[in-house]
Amino acid sequence: MADQKRSHIDLLELRDSLTWQLSETPYSYVIYLKRAQCHGDLGYPDLGAGDAYRALLLIDEISDDSGEYHEQAVETLQNYLARASSIGGYTGRKCEEENDPCEQANDAGQEDSSFLLSPESLTVNNDRLFCFALLSHFLVQCGCLQSAYDFAARGLGYSPSDSRFLNLRSQILETYNTTLLVKNRHYDDCNFSAKTELPEQGYSRRELYPWNHHEPDRFSDESLRSLDGQIKRLAPKCEVRSVELPVLEADSSNTSFKPSTTTRQLGIFATEDIAPHETVLRETSILTANNRLHDPLCDACSAPLPSISSSRHTPLPTCAECDDIIFCSPACHSAATSLYHPAVCGKPELEAVAKDPSPVAATNALYLLLLGRAFALSETQSIHPLDLPEIKYLWGDFMVPPPSSSSPSDPDDHLPSSSTVRTSLPFTFHDNILAPLHLWEKMDLDPFTALARTDTWVTQTLLAKFRAVASARMNPRTGVPE
């Protein structure tokens, strides 16, 4: 193990190596654990939590001989151990009870990308406990204290005297109680209940990841020509231009970060006079979502279906394989058939996903449904979700952290200080990690072999774009998305 922490560049190279290894051995929980720690060292606890949870799922698959991926996970582990035996043993880290999970997460990035765990340390029970410790540690960093507490409690359920989980649980409660005492010096924690009072809403970094090669330059001449061509077909009297706009709200949560006074955006501008009441633009989007289970809405564009009287002599198009899937027009039916519906057709469990949620969960349910539509578009058309034309040019309100204080000869070789990183993307364990996995399960999409499309950073990027351009505001009177 190296004596000094890896540099930023080294960690990025390690991450690329581990991601490539996962493409070759998608059911290796060991590699997921290593990449989780690498993401933690890079300052992405949300991505680390995503990897740690996938590792936990694969460990559970190994223990459950009826699991969907049991055979693949066991075979991968056996091959891993056989490789260990063939090279005569090698060094790795054990998950000893006395080890601090925070120190383990920080030390992980110091190891060589080719290190392998020894057969003696590679026990499913120890590694399951390590998953719990990593998840709790990363979720604390994200601000999801309730889920962090739950994973610490699950760890104690397996190992009641494990100091890692006792320390994590104490840290979570102390942090929360201290925060409440600062807000209210008369706060009394005698009736405190962790299951109901710990906050779950956290935040993660909202930025263009260094390995994201799908994001176009929205302001390049090529992009502007492409977007302008699309707008001309929808609004002949308009064009797309880039424009500098003043920043109306500066980020006051981080006093050390000085945002720009302007932001560059794309806008639609008239190229000729437009008469009063003239229709300027008419667009039907296929990337839509609604969370009303039985409302009479088109499955493709979410527009209200024509009334029975108006369509009496012309039955509305439907899907013969699905219940209650109706389209407002043959055009929408055709678009759905060619663009997204084959990926979800004949899967009735999907129809009720995130539908009719509680008012508290309504907003996040809509974003989950948008994720579902994006992945249906992606799978049907065999296009990466971030390359879909409906998504590619969306603004994501991404933040590029200012450069850290580094040596002149090595300007990019250090991790940015935590004080310069803005965490503005809403994040919870359920909405950002668990719910997408359940969605892919119902779509019969293997999240392990499809890692390039379903990786946590992909869903985080999609959610950043959706939240930047779609408010998901609900009408308080009707409960319908506005």
In tens, the pLDDT along 33-89 reads: 999 999 999 999 999 999 999 999 999 999 888 999 999 999 998 888 888 777 654
pTM: 0.84
Please give the structure tokens belonging to residue 178. 């201290």
Please give the structure tokens belonging to residue 394. 């969306």
In tens, the pLDDT along 441-474 reads: 999 999 999 999 999 999 999 999 999 888 766 6
Would you say residue 19 has pLDDT above 70? Answer: yes
Render 288-351 in DSSP notation, one character per residue. Answer: -----SSS-B-TTT-PBPPPTTTTTTSPPPB-TTSTT-B-SSHHHHHHHHHHTGGGTTT-HHHH
Q: Which residues pair with 242 in a beta bridge?
A: 266
Residue recorded with tokens 């979570």: 172
Residue 361 pLDDT level (bands cut at 50, 70, 90): confident
Render 240-301 in DSSP notation, one character per residue. Answer: EEEEEEE-SS---S-TT----SEEEEEEEEESS---TT--------SS-----SSS-B-TTT
In tens, the pLDDT along 291-346 reads: 776 778 899 998 888 876 654 567 899 998 887 889 999 999 999 999 999 999 98
Would you say residue 275 has pLDDT above 70? Answer: yes
In tens, the pLDDT along 331-341 reads: 999 999 999 99
In whole angstroms, how large is the CA radius of gyration of the chain? 25
Amino acid identity for residue 112 in this structure: D
Spacing of C-alpha 376 from chain mean position: 16
What's the mean pLDDT in 98-121?
41
In tens, the pLDDT along 377-413 reads: 999 999 999 999 999 999 888 876 544 433 333 334 4
Query: Among 67-71, 73-77, 272-276, 475-479, whose mean pLDDT is lowest?
Result: 475-479
Half-sphere exposure (CA, 13 Å, Cβ side) for 332? 24
Write the CA distances from 3 to 17, 40, 154, 179, 307, integer angstroms: 21, 18, 33, 36, 72
pLDDT of residue 24: 95
Entry field: residues in the chain: 482
Please give the structure tokens belonging to residue 358. 């509680």
Residue recorded with tokens 């790795």: 92
